[in-house]
Structure 1
């Protein structure tokens, strides 16, 4: 079984005031997250604004985080081109990342057979462990349980980040895959419900803000203290929800900045959080004692 642990943060990419990558703050944030109990980090995923990062910026982020933290680094390399994804995977492997996060192709809307062929082709070109990523709300493409079941037979496809928001689909996937194939919730608010039907952990956004609390919730569930886990889940529910009231990572970057962790703004085509969003986030952070 792959050893990525149960609490993984999909890390934002800190920018300076000119929206250049601030590598010192990248390291500082990565260290903060690992110190708060994260067992691995996803870099250059959706939350890391991968679509607006250059190949050079991505490579530099992998290098500097790998050099400065002691947890596994999972690189978000997926695109809607199989060839480009393979090239990204090979480049990340050369730098020394520990695994790959590969999203279902967006915009092209492949059918299930095409999805299988896409991921199989990528897996054949790398020996790194692969975490599939299903997020139909962003891609317009839902990878079905039977497709995950087939892909789980491929040796280096070892995990799934499932962000379909459907607990029945979670359960159906878990029913179909081997025990050593790890299912992670890709939606913070689904972490506990998903673990209740057999998911292993979470690839989180909220853990930027409430990482210790999320670790406590997961640990409580694992030792069968379900009442404690439920209480923490309900306490965090508003922040889970409100970090997605506009497109990720706009709210989480705003929340980090509010708490004194300067990660800068977001690159176009995203724009910074409006006052209406800031007001909601401020209320959540105050209630959690984070301000």
Structure 2
């Protein structure tokens, strides 16, 4: 399957003056390529896409494509709650050399299922690049229902879905219902093990920003049927995976942890801001536990 495996939802590092830290970004690219992740998702929620402008986004994609050198897939987040803007972004992703686009449910305006269908079909028809849907009700206030997904999955360029509904029953129905070559990727690190054991095809991971090899090993242990070892790895990382999405809004914890490791500065663009010292201490504690032993 073309879009299976481990995809790191990469952060966007900033300097103290809030400009993009391209030096740190290039180092993150190199680290991920060296770890042989299957792909990078850039300019998604974890990449703080709402506060990255068009010019900056183009530069990030260009650098990602260059750094990947064809070794890992580059997936660009092009979602919007304005269909016209999403189509324009998707065309630009294709022009810049991305391998696929990731399109989130339109947020805030709460479209009907028919509106969702028309939105995603318009994007798929508007360019020639493979498209992965992104279902996350918690951030968009709308759920992509199974019937709607099945209609969308018939489009030749809609090749997968990042499922972050948190509803395992829904995700099982997705896995058993989609076409054979349609990728179902976990959108939550902590659900990767169960989703893949149930037939899912990989994960778009936040944790792999700091532990790409650990996440890569777990994914491939499941693929190769080494379920006991993968389960041990899952529980070793469990507290960290929970912390990254519970101690503060993503991507605040993962950027704080990367800063603790000296890889980036702990800088955000408003409305995001730093986490509390108490939460940071708990996060670091869980990280240290995940790499011990």
Verify same fold: TM over 0.5. yes
Measured in 1, the distance between the counterparts of 2:291 and 2:260 equals 12
Please say which of residues 54-63 and 16-25 is displaced more in the overlay: 16-25
Q: Is the 8 A contact 2:16 2:265 kept in 1?
A: no
Conserved in 1, the CA contact under 8 Å of 2:46 and 2:251?
Answer: yes
- Alpha-carbon distance in 1 for matches of 2:250, 2:191: 16
TM-score of the aligned structures, taking structure 2 as reference length? 0.96
Is the CA contact (8 Å cut-off) linking 1:146 and 1:173 kept in structure 2?
Answer: no
TM-score by length of 1: 0.97
2:50 paired with 1:23:
no
Corresponding residue number in structure 1 for 2:185: 184
Within-5 A mapping of 1:201-280: 201-244=202-245, 245-280=247-282
Alignment of 1:1-291 (within 5 A): 1=1, 3-70=2-69, 71-244=72-245, 245-289=247-291
Counterpart of 2:210 in 1: which secondary structure?
helix
CA distance in 2, matches of 1:96, 1:166: 34
SS of the aligned residue for 1:288 comes to helix
Per-residue CA distance 1:225-279 (angstroms, 9 max, x = gap): 1111111111110010000121000000001111121244111001012102111
Task: Summarize deviations over 1:175-233 as a string: whole Å, max 9, x none.
Answer: 11111000000000010110111110000001112221111111111111111111111
CA RMSD of aligned residues (A): 1.1
Q: Report the alpha carbon displacement of residue 44 of structure 1 after superposing the two structures with TM.
A: 0.3
Structure 2 gap ranges (5+): none
SS in 2 for 1:75: strand
Deviation per CA, 1:33-88, whole angstroms, max 9, x where unpaired? 12123111011000000000100000000011111223111110100000010111
Partner of 2:40, secondary structure, is strand
Instruction: Determine helix, strand or coil for the equivalent of 2:45.
Output: coil
How far 1:99 sits from its partner (Å)? 0.7
Give SS of 2:291's match.
coil
Q: How many residues align?
A: 289
Structure 1: unaligned runs, 5 residues or longer: none
